Structure 1
Amino acid sequence: MKQELKSKETQDLIINTSFELFYEKGYNATSIPDIMKETSLSKGAFYHHFKNKHEIGKKVIEVIIRKRIKDGFITPLKNTDGNIPELLLDVFTDRIKNYTHREKALGCPANNLVGEIGYTEQDFRVILKSLFEEWRIELSNAIEAGKKRGEIKKEVNSSGAAISLICAFEGVRSVRKVYDDDSIFNEFMESMGIFIKSLSL
């Protein structure tokens, strides 16, 4: 049991450290020696858990990036008891208001990976696509709930509005990386409010 716990702790150490390095340096620029150095693990201990960087990359997406998006955007959208337009605005602006300086400077980890690997890493692309699809579907469901309750216009294309919200958010996270202040975030939050209001009754 102790050995299993130690093995799990070592695996978690590798995954968490790799996430931080990928986030800071990029996936392609991070090497296995970089990860071993940061974790202070021997070669044998490292390769006991992962055969290569590709395996680590998949785990980082499945474990850390998925959790970030689920906790920040997907799970909150399930709480449709209150006003839906207010829920949408809260989900897309509260995160921005609470980002650390580092998160503002480095952008969205999922979006960074999409931009870096493009179409080249099929395994990564499939996992990331499923994650964005899960987000889109949950967002569409929330908009549909708002339409049924008379809070959102019936003619609104729920899936199209969901994609617009996600792409606008991911876009501003990316563009913010070249700014030294929050001016673009402030303008985004204002325009997000206008867009959501245009969907509302």
Structure 2
Amino acid sequence: MKYKTGEETKMKIIDSAFQLLAEKGYDAMSIDDIMKGAGKTKGSFYVHFKNKEDLLYEVIQMRLDRDLDHIVEETFKELSNETCNVQLILKQLMHQVHLGSGGVDRELWTAAHYQMVVLSRKNQIVREWMSKQYHAWSDFITKIITRGQDLGQIRTDIDILVMVNMLISLLEGYELRSIVDPDIDVYEQLKLTELFCTNQP
């Protein structure tokens, strides 16, 4: 029971920090703010974390890392089918990305992600994490597009890297714009996958 209570406290601290990261940014949030949001005393912070930076890395792993391994596994299962629809798979993937990770609210995730982009300018570990994320997603989408080309469903007259970068930029661009323009339909970009397909007029 004590272990379970400790884990619950730790998750409350992580959730509070994630919320504050999205609302105020890393530099502006204090440990006092975090613990107030978690409904716990400041002393319990140091039971679970060395410092605020240590907590940040836990937030990254628990709240900002999208569940790429699971998404990759499920996507590759679909791609192994000779009758798979690669355009539909791309649309499903982009839809999954916008849903965020672990049930996190998309708008909250997007605001926190934006704060991480800002923080990456001066925090090497955050910058390396973000670079690793971009490369992992780039490799993943490259495999999807390559499979689509092998099946004759995706155009070959556009460089694969250009298509990959366009998709990633669309995903991130729509999300970032939604912070200041909440009326934008982030899902309208799914239609743009049609530009890469061979069955378009």
Distance 1:148 1:180, change over 3 A: closer
CA deviation after TM superposition for structure 1 residue 75, in Å:
5.4
CA contact under 8 A between 1:140 and 1:159: conserved in structure 2?
Answer: yes
Q: How does 1:83-122 map to 2 (within 5 A)?
A: 83-93=85-95, 103-104=106-107, 108-109=110-111, 111-122=113-124
**Inter-partner Cα distance in structure 1 for 2:154 and 2:23:** 40
Taking structure 1 as the reference length, the TM-score comes to 0.80
2:139 is the counterpart of 1:142: no
Q: Residue 16 and residue 25 in structure 1: after superposition, are their counterparts in 2 closer, same or farther (change >3 A)?
A: same
Superposition RMSD on alpha carbons, in Å?
2.8
Which amino acid letter does the alignment assign opposite residue 172 of structure 1?
Answer: Y
> How much identity, in percent, do the aligned residues show?
25
Aligned counterpart, 1:62: 61
Q: Distance in 2 between matches of 1:110 and 1:166?
A: 18
Q: Work out which of the residue numbers 186, 196, 200 in structure 1 matches 2:197.
A: 200
> What is the rounded CA distance, in whole Å, between the counterparts of 1:77 and 1:163 in structure 2?
19
TM-score, structure 2 length as denominator? 0.80
Contact 1:110–1:128 (8 Å) recurs in 2: no
1:8 matches 2:7: yes
What is the SS of the residue equivalent to 2:36? helix
| Structure 2 residue runs without a partner (length 5+) | none
Unaligned runs of 5+ in 1: none
Which string of whole-angstrom CA distances, capped at 9 and with x for unpartnered residues, describes residues 138-164 of structure 1? 111111111111111234332331121
Q: Is the 8 A contact 1:146 1:152 kept in 2?
A: yes
Q: Give the Å deviation of 1:54.
A: 0.9
Distance (Å, rounded) in 2 between the aligned partners of 1:71 and 1:21: 27
Tell whether 2:34 aligns with 1:35: yes
Question: Aligned to 1:163, which of 153, 162, 165?
Answer: 165
Q: Which whole-Å CA distance do the structure 2 matches of 1:110 and 1:164 have between them?
A: 22
Q: Alpha-carbon deviations, 1:92-144, whole Å to 9, x = none? A: 24665x68xx744x561463134321321111111222122211211111111
Which amino acid is 1:200 matched to? Answer: C
Q: Distance in 1 between matches of 2:138 and 2:28?
A: 30
